[in-house]
Homo-oligomer: A and B are copies of this chain.
Amino acid sequence: MIGVGIIGLGTVGSGTLKILTESQALIKERTGLDIKVVRIAEIDPKKTKGKGIPAGILTKSAGELIEDRNVHIVAELMGGTGLAREFIMSALEKGKWVVTANKALLAEKGDDIFRIAEKRGCEIGFEASVCGGIPVIRAIRDGLVGNRITSMLGILNGTSNYILTRMTDEGISFDDALRDAQKLGFAEKDPTFDIEGIDAAHKLCILVRLAFSYPIQMKDVITGGISKIQPIDISFAREFGYKIKLLGVAKNVNGSVEARVEPAMIPVSHPMSSVSGVFNAVYVVGDRVGPTLFYGKGAGSEPTGSAVVSDIVDMALRMETKNHRIRGPVYRVGKRAKSAKEALVPYYMRFTAQDRPGVLSKVSGILGDYKISISAVNQRERKESGYVPIVILTHEAGEKNLKKAKEEIDKLPFIKGESVHIRIEEGNL
């Protein structure tokens, strides 16, 4: 019998408990293994009430759970980067294997955890930390083991994808879409982590360490959010054949890894563009297999619980057969070696300009000064206020140059407010 201890009975913890309890016979039929939740640590009585937890299993002390000799696998599902880290470190020190869904912890303080796991001969399962129920960690680690990963695109945050989907399908504003997402429980009261790309950047960090075997740090991930996206940009994107997504992008550019999370345009013909609502997807390009895509629910009690359970079963299978071999460097620790080279990509730019002769010539002249060439222009009909939106798609350009050109253009007397620029990911990686 393999004993599991669950620390934290929130959304993911409850889903994990439910699946392990209700599917115990199914898992035994499939693997021959008896896997049982033997301890649960939770301090909030509201979270443990009415869940049919047998007496004697429950404790308020995570330390007690970790010490319990019947607990072979510790599932840290409480979240946060303080106590959760202490509990994981303590479990590893005692030689217990650990499963966690804690993306923030792994992305920000993963080095220590993986170092001690290696030292103690323990393994850390983190399938649930990236894209909830999608088995993308094992797909990359095991399924594509013969491939060098050359690039990845990810729709890694369901909240922001839900908001952008509503804005795209219904033409509503960011604020209205966010309000609905909050009403429906898809967004937190303070939605900063989700809408400003931080949660997605955590996941991208973990994916990059696994897929590129590269010790990226959070500060190296260029991170932007969706709160400034306007319906007019979504509408122009559609005219040019694109959708706007909060896209995690990681590429191997001349031997250095570039990683960014920000709103980007992607062609409607690209499979990532049809990932709608709260769904997540990761598009992984391997040098042998070519492009692959993994899609599913990125959050939720049972979807994420399903990923936690898959890690527990995997570990239990190997424990039972004394296969305590650690897999290769699934999470590369260390300091980042060199900084990323700038990737050249096309851009969408939108200026608000007075509707008079010579404007376009002046704007395109400044772009030309910065060696940015134009692939398409769209100027809308005259507005009553005397201002019109001018949209320019550029050929491949560096972001630094583009920003300099934009600053210069924004200073022109006939340009109103700050102009908009959005990356275009053609996705033919």
Contact = CB atoms under 8 A, between A and B. Distances in A.
Given A142-B138, A323-B321, A295 B296 contact: no
- Copies of this chain assembled into the complex: 2
A14 to B, nearest CB: 12
Contact of A321 (B281, B325, B328): B325
Interface in A257-315: 269, 271, 273-276, 281, 286, 288-297, 300, 302-303, 305-307, 309-310, 313-314
A20 B147 CA distance: 10
A208 interface: no
A132 B277 CA distance: 29
A29 interface: yes
Nearest to A275: B271
B297 A295 contact: no
A135 interface: yes
Nearest to A313: B145
Given A292-B296, A295-B295, A302-B288, A328 B30 contact: yes
A146 B293 contact: no
A26 interface: yes
Interface in A28-66: 29-32
B269 A271 contact: no
Contacts of A23: 146-148, 288
B309 A317 contact: no
Contact of A296 (B19, B289, B297): B289
A269 B279 CA distance: 13
Given A289-B133, A289-B306, A127 B148 contact: no
B329 A30 contact: yes
Contacts of A407: none
A31 B271 contact: no
A134 interface: yes
Nearest to A308: B146
B310 A145 contact: yes
A26 B143 contact: no
A284 to B, nearest CB: 9
A402 interface: no
A327 interface: yes
Contacts of A213: 29-30
Nearest to A281: B293
Contacts of A146: 19-20, 23, 26-27, 305-306, 309-310, 313
A320 interface: yes
Interface string A338-380: 0000000000000000000000000000000000000000000
A142 B135 CA distance: 9
A144 interface: yes
Contacts of A29: 213, 328-329
Contact of A134 (B32, B292, B306, B318): B292
Contact of A145 (B27, B139, B320): B27
A325 B321 CA distance: 7
A122 to B, nearest CB: 15
Across the A-B interface, give the 3 residue pairs with the lowest CB-CB distance, nearest first: A135-B143, A146-B309, A133-B289
Interface of A: 15, 19-20, 23, 26-27, 29-32, 127, 133-135, 138-139, 142-148, 213, 269, 271, 273-276, 281, 286, 288-297, 300, 302-303, 305-307, 309-310, 313-314, 317-318, 320-325, 327-329
9 contacts: A23-B147, A134-B292, A135-B139, A135-B143, A138-B139, A139-B139, A139-B143, A145-B313, A290-B300
Given A29-B329, A269-B276, 12 more contacts: A27-B146, A30-B145, A30-B213, A135-B143, A145-B309, A147-B306, A286-B306, A288-B305, A290-B303, A292-B294, A295-B295, A321-B323
